[in-house]
Amino acid sequence: MQSAQNHISTVNNEDSHVMNIPSKGELHKAEEYYRLATLADPTDSKILMQYAKLESELNHDQGRALVNFERAVQAAPQNR
């Protein structure tokens, strides 16, 4: 009985972590936010890095991600 309760507790804890994973729709909204933010300030290296990371992970678009990583490095050369 004790092991069953431990298992249920573990499953509940794992479920609570799953609940924090953003939905695909939220990720697409974030992508649009970053796209607009880079248009508003194309020199913001933090925004460019986050946008590149999202492009890489969400869309698996390594080409676009690389372009934004390179733009981020150019925008903040002191962080190289």
Query: Tens digit of pLDDT for each residue in 51-79?
Result: 999 888 888 889 989 998 999 999 887 65
Q: Alpha helix (H) ranges present in the chain?
A: 2-18, 24-40, 45-54, 62-75
Q: With 70 as the cut, is the pLDDT of residue 4 above it?
A: no
Q: With 50 as the cut, is the pLDDT of residue 3 above it?
A: no
Quote the mean pLDDT of the chain. Answer: 76
Q: With 80 as the cut, is the pLDDT of residue 50 above it?
A: yes
pLDDT band at residue 21 under the 50/70/90 scheme: low
| CB burial readout 27-58, b (16+ within 10 A) else e | eeeeeeebeebbeeeeebbebbbbbbebbbee
Task: Identify the pLDDT of residue 66.
Answer: 92
- Domains present along the chain, CATH in parentheses: 22-79 (1.25.40)
